[in-house]
Amino acid sequence: MYRIGQLAKEAGISIRTLRYYDELGVLKPSFVSDAGYRYYSHEDVMKLHHIATLKQLGFTLPQIRRVLEEEASRSHTERWTHAIRLQMETIRKEKNRLDLLERMLQTTLRTIELRNDVPTEELLLFIHALQSGQTEKATESVQRANRLKRFTPDELPIIESLPRLEENDPRADEWIGLLRDIHGHLGEPPDSPASRRLAGRLLEIEGQWFGDREDVLEKYWEWIRPEAGEREKVLGLDRETMAYIERLTDEYLRTDKRAKRKKR
């Protein structure tokens, strides 16, 4: 048995907190001496472990009390098995929630890096996703269903290997940097030195991502092209930007072919 002072010291919890738990009925000592000393058993220590873990997971004391009341009718083994499983499940959910939040923030960060700002509608979508508890798994299942409709089994691995803005992928950072450079040169003549430099970088990245599958590249390009009046489907690739990319890469390839012919 542990006296209240000993338990408080070894558990790193104040005596005042243990007394408060007693008053609330969350954790009562197994024995109180005639002199008023509180004594805690091994079972009480296990319950304190449960309470401390649930508190760290964000449970309020009234919520913890309800959990303990629901578990009271179980056997010793069932009670603690249920307690540990509840804690692990809560941790898994919290990890998933934080992982989703991290990925959403990663996308927001890259949006700011590209545009130096975040559009109001995207901020509202972010807030809505947080409030509604939208899961990334549900969103991904919809996106994958759309990819399955559009691409064949041999094309799909290429599409699914493309970098995602919500992931900590150096390729995504490289792409955002290139897009920012492209946005800074919109309207530049396609045969200018700056446009040729951008076209060379674009074609190099296309080769890394799509290899020799130009058919998949073209199919993907048409898939993400927004209709007139439609918002961009991929961050930074609105109709104007896509049209500029097509002009400068076409010009680059045309002059490159012409230069090769002259060498012959």
Q: Does domain 2-73 have CATH number 1.20.120.420?
A: no
Average pLDDT over residues 88-101: 84
Where along the chain do the CATH 1.10.1660.10 domains lie?
A: 2-73
Q: Given pLDDT bands bounded at 50, 70 and 90, which one contains residue 131?
A: low
> What's the pTM value of the predicted model, to 2 decimals?
0.61
Average model confidence (pLDDT) for the chain? 85
Average pLDDT over residues 154-182: 92
Q: Given pLDDT bands bounded at 50, 70 and 90, which one contains residue 142?
A: low
> In the prediction, which pLDDT does 139 show?
58
Sheet hosting strand 31-32, strand order edge to edge = 2-3, 38-40, 31-32
